[in-house]
Amino acid sequence: MNDEKIKVLIVDDSDLFRAYINDLLKKDPDIEVVGFAKNGLEGLEKAKLLKPHVILLDIEMPVMNGIECLKRLGKQGNYGIIIVSGFKREVIKATIEGLELGAFDFIYKTANFLSIRANEIIAKIKMAYMTIKKTQLFGRTGTKKQHEGDVSIATEKNGLKYIIALGVSTGGPKALATILPEFPEDLPASIIIVQHMPPKFTSSLASRLNEISRMEVKEAEQGDQLKAGYVYIAPGDYHLTFGNNEKGLYINLDQSPPVRGFRPNVDVMMTSLANIEGFNNIIGVIMTGMGNDGSKGLLELKKKKAETFIIAQDEDTSTVFGMPKAAIELGIVDKTLPLNEIPACIMNFMGVHQ
């Protein structure tokens, strides 16, 4: 990778987990575990002393929990923080909060750690490191958002004039928490989101985003009829596609095989939308995330519905630029924007002002 090893600090109250992860990471020549901590307070002290690049941070710990530690770490230094989560409801909720607070990503563990995949955690550690180094070199930039428009929000019988199809992965919870509150409750559109997440986490994400948004945010269910003013998040472990009946567009969920490791998959959602007859007012949005999921589906949208308007999040404000970059390189993106300009651009395109 480079001459500098990635220094990792493991903060977890489980002796077994620390030993397990240490053995796992020893196998990669680019990674060096520089220390361990049994609680958040000790983690803060070790981080200050050892100056790690990446911190694996457990949520449930004595003395100081992971969320409180995360808040203080953000003030103490620039670290790539990967949350170690479990499947209990309160832990999932805290994990979503941690991602909103700026954690890079998360891994989840069961009692026997069998849910932890070596390749996945090593890839996340390396990407967190690269993101931190990029931020140190170039910093973050952003542009003040502007709201322009010359048409008030339409009030049709069903209200649905547009579909906003959005794909996102690493860095998604924080990005979504930034843009969704900007949309008014009477937006004449449905927003459909595929966020790469496992089961249960998408439900907690939807609940959290609903608390801070003016639109109604829910985890999508089989047969949901699309309504204006609603945000639908694909549930973990289910692909989201679309159907059409006498009432309009509705949501289908299925557990057909993962596509390139992802279920839900952004390409699956975008391609399904491209194949729906009779609805052409579509805005495609591709945001922060590793890999290239979404670019093929957006290409299908452009081929079959040429009027589709596509927005990509820019590199400076993306936690990981992989997914937006892949779409941009295909030449199908109409606008590349900083995160905080995306809502205004969408509403301007729709002729909406607040």
pLDDT digit string, tens, across residues 5-55: 999 999 999 999 999 999 999 999 999 999 999 999 999 999 999 999 999
Q: Are 108 and 85 in contact (CB under 8 A)?
A: yes
Give the start-end residues of each E strand in 86-203.
105-108, 162-168, 189-195
> Position of tokens 């907690």?
204
Say what the pLDDT of residue 262 is.
Answer: 94
Query: Which part of the chain has CATH 3.40.50.2300?
Result: 6-138
What the block records as the tokens of 328 is 């941009």
Question: Which regions of the chain are under pLDDT 70?
Answer: 1-3, 111, 114-115, 135-158, 354
Residues marked active site are found at 169, 196, 293
Say what the pLDDT of residue 337 is.
Answer: 97
Q: DSSP string of 2-56?
A: -SS-EEEEEE-S-HHHHHHHHHHHHT-TTEEEEEEESSHHHHHHHHHHH--SEEE
Say what the pLDDT of residue 157 is.
Answer: 33
Percent of the chain with pLDDT over 90: 81
Assign 3-state DSSP to the chain and report helix, strand, coil percentages, each to 5.
Answer: 35, 25, 40
Query: Which part of the chain has CATH 3.40.50.180?
Result: 162-350
Class of domain 6-138: alpha beta
Phi, psi angle pair for 155, to nearest 5°? -125, 80
Question: CA-to-CA distance for 281 and 219, rounded, in angstroms?
Answer: 23
- CA atoms within 13 A of residue 219's CA, in its CB half-sphere: 18
Task: Classify domain 162-350 by CATH architecture.
Answer: 3-Layer(aba) Sandwich (3.40)
Say what the pLDDT of residue 135 is.
Answer: 61
Rg for the chain, CA atoms, rounded: 21
